[in-house]
Amino acid sequence: MALFEPYKGLSTQLNSLPIKDGQLIVTTDTKNLYIDTSSSTRIRINDDYESNNNKVVAIDQNSTDTQYPSAKCVYDLVGDIENLLTTLDVGSGVQ
């Protein structure tokens, strides 16, 4: 079995590389791994699919649709909503 070595290059070179079925590419500056799954499709493969670029730890009026909150951020905003609603007696109706 022959050893296979992926193409190594900078992320700025990625778009200029032709897509070839089965080709592996490693970007040396961003440490991402790409595979060409057909003659027209290139996908990024990483151990961690989460992109921390859009993760936020606070939500306000300047938040965007591309951002998403951390779990702690959501808890800080919502807290233990079930116990809070029970304490406020919300949902039992107003008499």
Give the C-alpha separation, 44 to 51, whole Å. 12
Partners of residue 55 on adjacent β-strands: 68
pLDDT tens, 16-67?
999 998 888 988 888 888 888 888 998 888 755 566 778 899 989 999 988 8
Tokens for 36, please give them: 């060409």
- Please tell me the pTM assigned to this model: 0.45
